Every structure is written in C-alpha cells, then in structure tokens.
Chain A
Amino acid sequence: MEENNDTIKDIDLWATNSEEGGWNISSTDEGSQKMLEQEDEVTTKIQMGSEVIDDYFIEDDISDDERMILNMGPQHPSTHGVLRLQVELEGEVVRRVQPVIGYLHTGMEKTGEELNYFQGPTNTTRMDYLSPFFNELVFSLATEKLLGIEVPDRASTIRILMTELNRISSHLVALATGGMDIGALSMMIFGFRERELILDFFEKTTGLRMNHNFIRPGGVAADLPDNWQKDIEEILKVIPKKLKDYDEMLLDNPIWQGRLKNVGILTTEECFAYGITGPSLRASGYAWDLRKMQPYSGIDKYEFDIPVFEEGDVFARWRIKVLEIFESLKIVEQAMGNMPKGPYKIQDKKITPPPRKRLDESMEALIHHFKIYTEGFKVPEGEVYTTVESPRGELGCFIVSDGSSKPYRMHVRGPSFCNLQALPVVMSDSPIADAVAAIASLDPVLGDVDR
C-alpha cells in the first residue's frame, strides 16, 4: 500500500507541489475542519447561524443633511394592501414613522346601520378578508346575546370547525407574505398552495372562497356537505407534513434567523400600552388567549395549548404562527370527532328562515320567509360588546340596538387597526431593511384597519 501511495505521490496527480495554483487544487475540507477545531464555540455558532447577535450599531452623529422623508406605499406589495408609511430616514436608519391609513375606507360601520341583522354578516365578513368567519361569528354572537338565544350544539361545533380552519388559512397567508417580504419566495408559493386546500373546503361548504356569509345569527347557513370528513382528513394529513417542510427550509436557515432574530422587539409592557393582542402579545411573553380566558361557542371543551414565547421579536412572532396552526389542527380534529347530530340552526322561525321546500306546503312558512327577507327580525333594546380571538387578536363587535330590525350603531373593533399603532415603536431606530420584516410580522389586514 505504501509503495502504491508513493507512486501516486510521485506522479503528483493533484499538482500540489507545482508552483502555480497548487493550493487551490488541493481539497480544502481538511483545512476547514482544522479551522473549526481552532475556532471557539461562539464564533462557530455565529458562522453556522445557530446564534444571532445584533451587530448593527447606529451612529449618533449624522448631520441633518442626511435626514430624508420617504413614502412607502400605498401601492407597495410589502405593505400588505394599501398601507402608506411616511418614514423619516437618517442614512439607513428609520427614525420616525407615521402610518397613513384610510385608502380602503368604505364606511362599513355606516352601511351596518342600514342593513338589518339578517344581512349584517354580509357586511362584516368583508372587513378582515383573510379571516371572514371570525367577523361573521362575532357579529352573530353579539346579535344572539341581544336576543338571548343559544344556538344548537351542532351549529356551535360547525362554527368552531370553520373558524379554526380559517385560522389555519389566515396564518398560512401570514407565513407566505412574511416569507415573501424577506425574500423567501418559495415560502410564498408554499403558503398559498396549502391555503388552497382549505379554501376548497370552504367553497364546497359555503359556496364561496372568501366572504362566505355562512355564520349567521341563529346558527349557520347550511349543513356540512356530504363526505366532509374525507376533506378534513386530507387537510389533517397534508398540512402537518407541509409545515415540517417549512421548518426544514427555514427554522435552521442562517439567513432566515439573521433577518428575523432580535428584530422589531415588542415588550409585554409595550403590548399592553398599545393594546396589542393575539399572537403578537403571546410572542412577547404573556399567555393571553380569549379562547381560554373568555371562551365562546363552547371552545373551552376542546383540548389545546397556547404557545408562548419570551423574545418578542419577529422570529418569535413568526414561530408562534406556525405552532398555532398545529394547535388549531388539534381543535379541528376534535371537532370532527365529536360533531353532534341535530339541527344546524335554531328552530325559531322568527329568526332563521324556513327551508326552501316548506314554502310550497305551508302558508306560515311563506309568511316567515317573507318577513325575514323583507323586514328582518326585531332585536330587543340594549348594548352589547362581544369578543372572539381572531388570528390577529381580539376582534370585538359593539352593537347598540333600539328595538328595531337594524342596529342603531354597529362598531367593530378590528385587531389590525390597534396593532398598527405599534408600528412606530417596532420600526423606529432600526435599519430600513428590517422595517419590512416588522410590518409582515404584525400581519395587518388593511380591510380590517380601514373598514
């Protein structure tokens, strides 16, 4: 053997001994191995991307000449709709931010006063267009609270099933657009691809991919389609597998970690001050989830956990959305397993319209149908504020009724509107490149902001 080696060395296949370029022909593997041994542990971790240090230092003595005011938006893909930001820059550093909103304002609260309670969900479902079921649910819950009625078990379970599926699809969009903003374009394609699976089920059940008007006061609009279990099983099987793919792609990715860690930090106190709820609050170290604390539609019967992170940075806000999808899948599975039999809407003909078939046989059914579709039903006087945990935080609905069939005042507390106020806190005194990551992590939906 030795002789053999020697002969090869003599021939000098790799030309290591030649004067020109010997060093770049020889394998560098051995050399890098040696370097790894010599480097201390921290440096190695930084180089491999498992530890991120915030090495961006802002110089304090920049002259005023370098200050400039820049307009971001309203037509800019990374502002998630028609958000306009007036950014004051000092070199590359964001010093002050002023969000300018209202480009999507369509006066939905005023419209809500013109529509009766039966038509109400048609209006509210268009507010937060990524989580329409939550908007319908909160309006229906408020109306039911004023009426003093309880919906049947099957209706509540269908509501939970649909809203939790909606949470998954909404979070998938958040992950997708968040990835796109940072430059992980495959993440965008992946996120929208998996969302399609859920939207297909929505289309099958409600007839529409978005703006369903499915959850209505008194129950839901229709029963689940035939063989719905098969579709849900498909979702339960595919989504976790795909989420593992995302993790493989992004979780240990040094670029991803470097862009997201220690960026756009929100402390718990800042969250309280700016009224931030939902995943952003939980990523800042406070376990507050309305599904656990102030449950609605019997969601307290389901077993699930609330993921909490202490860091409060963009990475934590991204990670918590991934983990929440897993928790929502748990709820969907339980809802599928325990779907009760029975009516899917309340059997009070004054509130929910009779089935279409009955109209040909019964005079009373025809009268009820006519009454509901023309005048609507009357709701007792009172004021009510109900809340649900939407994918972005606390979604509230404030209805004042004067005893007629239309709300006297209908106000929706959108979580995006409130969360957007924190943008100046998150963005100021950080480089402009991080600003886009910070906007994406707060996940504002401008339909909900402007209403």
Chain B
Amino acid sequence: MIENLHVTIEDYFQKVEELKNDGYEMMVDLTAIDWFRKKDPRFEVVVNFLSVSKNKRISIKVKLNDDLRIPSITSLYPSANFYEREVFDMFGINFENHPDLTRILMPDDWVGYPLRKDYGTGRIPVQFKNAPKVD
C-alpha cells in the first residue's frame, strides 16, 4: 500500500517539492538507517509522506554520500524540523539550510551518535571473579 521511491541525493529536494505540489500535504515521518558494514553507502534517510486528499502514502529513500550532507526540507514541510534534528542527534547527519540544527533529545554536550550501529549500548560488564563465595 505504501509506494516506495528511491531517489538520488541530487534529486531529493526537487522530488519532495514535486510531491508537495502533487497533493502530499503532510510529511509524517523522517528517519535514517545505519547499514554499518552491511551496505555501501552506509546511511540511508527514509521520509514518509501522506496525502490526506488522495488517501495515499509514499516513502522516499535517499542514500547519503560520505560527507553525510542532505538538503533540509524544513522550508517545504515545517514538520520536518524536529525530525531532522532528531536524525542529526542520533546519526550525525547534517541537514543543510536547517534553521536550528542542534541536538534535541540528547544533552547539548553529548559526544557521539547513539543510534549508529558502532555505538555501544552502554552495558556495564559484570565481573564474576570477585563475587562473594557461597559456602
């Protein structure tokens, strides 16, 4: 039911503009996937659009280059604002021309991008060596 569309990073902004003129009123979701050591290029941005007048959904997938830059679509869809900040926060992807590209969920001075696959989950290793003995 959801139409999938793969576009290159050069056509991305233009394609989104076309969709907006085509009657896709809402951008409902924007997220990224980290294909660490699985695929090349590593990062992929997925944007979901919804047309309430036509009752249709479309999903756009963009593969990023190594510089991790992608044009921001905030000027077309203001709802992309928080989502792009979240993806920047979690994956370190830079959205060009975003009005306020800062961390949104993590603290401002946080180092690292938590949803990347090479970022550990922060488990504390359990040492059984010095555990008290049970008689």
A101 to B89, CA, bound (A): 13
In the complex, chain A residues whose CB is within 8 Å of the CB of B26: 272, 275, 277
> Assuming A272-B25, A275-B28, is B79 touching A101 (CB within 8 A)?
no
> Assuming A110-B115, A272-B26, A273-B77, is B38 touching A294 (CB within 8 A)?
no
Q: With an 8 A cutoff between CB atoms, is B126 at the interface?
A: no
A105 to B107, CA, bound (A): 10
A417 touches B82 (CB 8 A): yes
A90-111 contacts to B (CB < 8 Å): 101-102, 105, 107, 109-111
Say how far A413's CB is from chain B's closest CB, in angstroms: 4
The one of A102, A272, A394, A413 that contacts B105, using a Cβ cutoff of 8 Å: A102
Q: With an 8 A cutoff between CB atoms, is A349 at the interface?
A: no
A261-289 contacts to B (CB < 8 Å): 272-275, 277, 286, 288
Q: Which size class do B's interface residues fall under?
A: 20 to 34
Q: With an 8 A cutoff between CB atoms, is B94 at the interface?
A: no
B106 touches A105 (CB 8 A): yes
The one of B29, B55, B79, B81 that contacts A293, using a Cβ cutoff of 8 Å: B55
In the complex, chain B residues whose CB is within 8 Å of the CB of A421: 78-79, 81-82
Name the CB-closest residue of A to B48: A385
B29 touches A413 (CB 8 A): yes
In the complex, chain A residues whose CB is within 8 Å of the CB of B33: 400, 408-409
A273 to B26, CA, bound (A): 6
Interface size on A, residues (CB 8 A): 34
Say how far B47's CB is from chain A's closest CB, in angstroms: 11
A411 to B91, CA, bound (A): 13
In the complex, chain A residues whose CB is within 8 Å of the CB of B81: 421
A383 to B46, CA, bound (A): 11
The one of B28, B46, B121 that contacts A114, using a Cβ cutoff of 8 Å: B121
A418 touches B114 (CB 8 A): no
In the complex, chain B residues whose CB is within 8 Å of the CB of A194: none
A277 to B55, CA, bound (A): 14
Say how far A149's CB is from chain B's closest CB, in angstroms: 17
In the complex, chain A residues whose CB is within 8 Å of the CB of B121: 110-111, 114
Mask, A49-77, CB within 8 Å of B = 1, is 00000000000000000000000000000
B46-102 contacts to A (CB < 8 Å): 46, 48, 50, 52, 55, 57, 59, 77-79, 81-82, 90
A392 to B82, CA, bound (A): 17
B78 touches A274 (CB 8 A): yes
Say how far B93's CB is from chain A's closest CB, in angstroms: 14
3 nearest A-B pairs in the assembled complex, by CB-CB distance: A275-B79, A272-B25, A102-B105
Known pairs A293-B55, A385-B59, A396-B48. 15 more at Cβ < 8 A?
A101-B105, A102-B105, A107-B114, A109-B90, A275-B77, A275-B79, A286-B52, A293-B52, A385-B29, A394-B28, A398-B31, A408-B33, A409-B34, A411-B29, A413-B29
